[in-house]
A and B are shown apart, each in its own frame.
Chain A
Amino acid sequence: MRALALVLALAAGAALAQEEKVVLKDAPGRDKAMQCLACHSLDYIQMNSRFLDKAGWTASVNKMINAFGAPIPKEDVDAIATYLAENYGKPSAK
């Protein structure tokens, strides 16, 4: 899987011992959300919770693709945003 390959490539070079302690909630869509690891640690997600609704998370994921060049397939955007909104979204947005 592409996301896993990226993670492994990064793990080889960077000091990730601490970062590995950050674990995303186990729920559908988690594997796709793990693609975020290509560029940054997962604590960015937790840090930006819980105040975004699904539209807010969609905008964030799209910014990562369009502004920062994240290699996330377009068809994964909705699954990732849904996962983030459900697990790290505004409580009322659930």
Chain B
Amino acid sequence: MDRRSILKAAAGALGAWSVRDALAAVGSMAELGFSEIPDGALVEQLLHALPGKVPLIKKSYRPPNYETPVEYFRRPITPNNAFFVRWHLAAIPQVGLKDWTLGVGGESAEREFKLTMDSLRKDFKPAQLTAVCQCSGNRRGLFEPHVTGVEWGVGAMGNALWRGARLKDVLQKAGVKSDALEVVFDGADHGALDKTPDFVKSIPIDLALDENTLIAYEMNGAPLPHWNGFPARIVVPGWTGTYWVKGVTSIKVISKPEKNFWMSAAYRLPRGRFKTPSYKSQMTEANEPITTMVVNSLITSVRNGERVPRGKPLEVRGVAWDGGAGIGRVEVSTDGASWAEARLGKDLGRFSFREFAHSVPTRETGALVVMARARSASGETQVNELIHNPAGYHHNVIQRLYVEIV
């Protein structure tokens, strides 16, 4: 690709926006070398701070949906006060610790009981792990053609150290019957109207009994922020955020598939389109629930359209993550043809962001296209072309940033 065609491609990626406008807009995805979010979304969004949060990219006020700006991904752990906010329903009660209880039971549990925060903390051995929480629809706004929903850019995700009780220990206390099929979670949130389906999610029983599935009451060594599920949320490492029920108040072990709207209609993928594991008790002939995250990466050190002085190496840094296999390698290219292996940062566990870095020499002037391609330890790689699906999930297209060496 010669310089002229690269710049033409860059201009195409920016669409109707000039480089100057794109760089000035809050949360522009063209700045990150992606196709742009819908123009209405770009105009409407702004930086706004919810109580206890730094200014985040506001997508919607009610229910609150706020995206983390890209600069917070220049470190492997996302601070609590910058962690993205995603709610489906507008009524989000402020929960007091004294009033909060967690009901445990269900038809496939031997016993029913209620836990207080004190008992959750004291009666079960604490466990902790670092894991990425990513909205299923992260990068939905980058879909071409666009699909409806919250038009997220790249920041509907975060990586934190979660600490809490293992769900399996709590289920063991309840006694899991042999016919147990799924475990269902409900939180304190609800719709503005009684008729709106309550946000209730289930996971397969084997995943609920996995040692890594937690009822987390701490995030990065502090209580969870209200907006991220205080006082406790479910943590399902590797699986998309929809299952990480916030402000959890009820856990039920059930013998039949959970059929509410949020399981049977929302969060579904056309069957067989992705290589992610299937949630067998929830499959229909046409579709299946989203499960684990697909392998992905984000370059955080380079801006599209950036001019870099010749002779100074171009540092390509970012984070990579996947659905729990762990990151095997990240490769960087500046021509789309040859790929060099980037250095990986400290291993914080297979569910965590993994930092990567690669230094590109800039001996000659001209245009470069900077790309990063993550590969999971299980051999999955990011895609060149979007795998389109109606609800806008699993966008893991390789980023393309055009840089001019001057």
Contacts and interface: CB of A to CB of B under 8 A. Distances in A.
A52 interface: yes
B191 to A, nearest CB: 7
B192 interface: yes
Contacts of A67: 197, 261, 265
B257 interface: no
B307 interface: no
A47 B60 contact: yes
Contact of A68 (B39, B62, B191): B191
Interface on chain B toward A: helix, strand, loop, or mixed SS? loop
Interface stretch (B144-152, B212-220, B245-253, B394-402): B144-152
Contact of B40 (A18, A39, A49): A49
A67 B150 CA distance: 17
B192 A38 contact: yes
A41 B61 CA distance: 6
Interface in A1-39: 10, 14, 16, 18-19, 22, 38-39
A69 interface: yes
Interface in B1-49: 38-41, 43-45, 48
B346 interface: no
B125 to A, nearest CB: 39
A48 B41 contact: yes
B40 A47 contact: yes
Interface in A61-93: 67-71, 88
Interface string B137-169: 000000001101111000000000000000000
Contacts of A51: 38, 145-146
B41 A47 contact: yes
Chain A's interface size range is: 20 to 34
Contacts of B197: 67-69
Contacts of B195: 68-69, 71
A69 B151 contact: no
A10 B91 CA distance: 11
Chain B's interface size range is: 20 to 34
Contacts of B151: 47-48
Contacts of B39: 49-50
Nearest to B194: A69
A37 B60 CA distance: 12
Contacts of B63: 40
A40 B60 contact: yes
A16 B62 CA distance: 9
A17 B391 CA distance: 31
B148 A60 contact: yes
A43 B38 contact: no
Contacts of A14: 62, 90
B119 interface: no
A47 B196 contact: no
Given A41-B62, A69-B195, A50 B90 contact: no
Given A18-B61, A47-B59, A50-B38, A70 B44 contact: no
B286 interface: no
A88 B145 CA distance: 16
A22 to B, nearest CB: 7
A26 B342 CA distance: 53
B337 interface: no
A69 B196 CA distance: 5
Nearest to A49: B40
B146 A46 contact: no
Nearest to B150: A47
Contact of B41 (A46, A60, A70): A46
A43 B148 contact: no
Contacts of B59: 43, 47
Interface string B152-192: 00000000000000000000000000000000000000011
Given A10-B192, A47-B151, A40 B62 contact: yes
Given A41-B60, A68-B196, 16 more contacts: A14-B90, A16-B62, A18-B61, A19-B61, A39-B192, A40-B63, A43-B44, A43-B59, A47-B150, A48-B40, A49-B39, A49-B40, A50-B39, A50-B40, A60-B148, A70-B193
Top 7 nearest A-B pairs (CB, nearest first) are A69-B195, A49-B40, A46-B44, A41-B61, A41-B62, A19-B61, A51-B146
